[in-house]
Amino acid sequence: MRHIEHKPAPYSQTAPRAGINGSEPATAFIVNPGSSGGSTGKNWENINSQLRAALGLDGRVGVAFCRKGGDGTSLARQFLKKGYSRIVAIGGDGTINEVANGFFERIDVGKKDAINKIDQAQLVALQKQLPLKAINPDAVLIPVPCGTRNVLARSLGLPLTFEEYCANFAKLKPARMDLIAASTTSLAGNPKTFARVFLNAAEIGLGAEIISRSKKVRNRLKSRLVSTTAAVVATLPLYQSNLCKIYTDRRLQGIVANMTMTVISNGPYLGGGFRVAPDASVSDGMLDVVILKNSGSFKILEDLVSLKLKDPSTDKDILYTQAKSVYIESEQRQVSVTVDGELIGTLPAIFRIIPSAISVMR
């Protein structure tokens, strides 16, 4: 998530209060002004006006501007603890995920040390040990698509542009949706685990490497198209599958496979419009797990097309299953993990579904 400096205070000092008629829940805007290449910040006055009209807001609204990574989470917690019950996340997928994490107190992953190698029975036990404490269980997340790709909006069936979103907001209703909790090994190289929740999908292996390289290029060139193209060209010819062990709570034995890429999905879509998990639903209480295996060099391109154009369960090089929890470890080199376009850690990692964890306007 890209942030730019903005003049307003980190968040408005207005107290949570209802609208003019006394019936409106207190609403807060959390804005990433750096989203969509900085256009959100540049056009904020117009965005603010249109959004207030679409949401029917006549009363005072709390407003917060993200300045650095993690602000979305901390600001959401502040607003919820002050009594705000509708949190509007204005930005891309990274911003919306940060805000969703702020709906909960710090996640206790059950271990302060490295994720130890586990078996299927231990994974089933871990599934029952995920204490997510919602700050306000009745609070509603309102995701507003102001990013470059807006993949989450696509998975939720939301309008994909800000203008369409405002025009159709009256048709949206709050509904409960599942979240995925991810515990990964720290990026810093220490043995500590890193935990967070996310809304749409995790990419492990090839997809994560492309995202990571793309962000490094974009820090210099500021163009998503150029950075993504450069990352694909640099990654595909050299990327090698990694021997991995994958446990799910539905299998008695772990899967051992040369993994090129794994997707742990709540929604059906990834970036670029890839409908990787066509049967995925954000409210079915299940993870959709898609494992692309045995793909070397440019054969990966053919398999990626298979993921996009047909049911992954029909391809011999693609393993597909559903589960409530998944554990993945690499038997060889370090493997990166991203969630909704953000690099969060490396394998080993544990993913668990949290059914009906949050209310989202959709």
pLDDT in tens, 276-298: 898 999 999 999 999 988 765 55
For residue 190, pLDDT over 70 is answered with no
Residue type at position 330 = S
User: Is 362:157 a contact under the CB 8 Å cutoff?
Assistant: yes
CA dist 199 → 30, 226, 241, 268, 354 (Å): 17, 27, 27, 11, 10
Q: How confident is the model at residue 254 (pLDDT cuts 50, 70, 90)?
A: confident
Phi, psi torsion values for 306, nearest 5 degrees: -60, -40
- Assign domain 180-361 to a CATH class: mainly beta
CB-neighbour burial class of residue 136 (10 A; exposed 0-12, middle 13-18, buried 19+): middle
Residue 33 to residue 8: CA distance in whole angstroms: 11
> Taking the alpha carbons of 338, 339, 342, 343 in that order, is the dihedral positive or negative?
negative
- More confident: 132 or 346: 346
- What pLDDT sits at residue 129? 64
Q: What is the mean pLDDT of the chain?
A: 81
Percent of the chain beyond pLDDT 70? Answer: 72
* Residue with the two structure tokens 């011999």: 316
* Three-state DSSP class for residue 287: strand
Residue 31 to residue 143: CA distance in whole angstroms: 11
Closest-CA residue to 144 (of 5, 58, 29, 38) = 29
Which token pair is 3? 């942030």
Give the DSSP letter of residue 123: H
Beta bridge partners of 337: 204, 345
What CATH number is given for 27-108+131-177 in this structure?
A: 3.40.50.10330
Residue 289 to residue 8: CA distance in whole angstroms: 42
- Between 178-192, 237-251, 348-362, the lowest mean confidence (pLDDT) is in 178-192
- What pLDDT sits at residue 13? 37
- What pLDDT sits at residue 303? 61
- More confident: 319 or 55: 55
CA dist 91 → 6, 22, 110, 122, 315 (Å): 15, 29, 32, 38, 36
What ranges do the domains of the chain cover? Answer: 27-108+131-177, 180-361
47, containing H or E segment: helix 44-55
207, containing H or E segment: helix 206-221
E strands present in the chain: 27-31, 62-65, 86-91, 140-145, 174-185, 193-198, 201-205, 242-248, 255-265, 287-293, 318-323, 325-330, 336-339, 342-361
Contacts of 90 (CB under 8 A, 6+ apart): 29, 30, 31, 32, 35, 40, 47, 51, 144, 146
Q: End-to-end CA distance of the chain, in Å?
A: 22
Q: How confident is the model at residue 49 (pLDDT cuts 50, 70, 90)?
A: very high
Q: What is the pLDDT averaged over residues 124-132?
A: 66
CA dist 183 → 207, 224, 265, 329 (Å): 18, 28, 15, 12
- More confident: 200 or 298: 200
For residue 88, pLDDT over 70 is answered with yes
The helix-helix angle for 206-221 and 224-235 (nearest 10°) equals 140
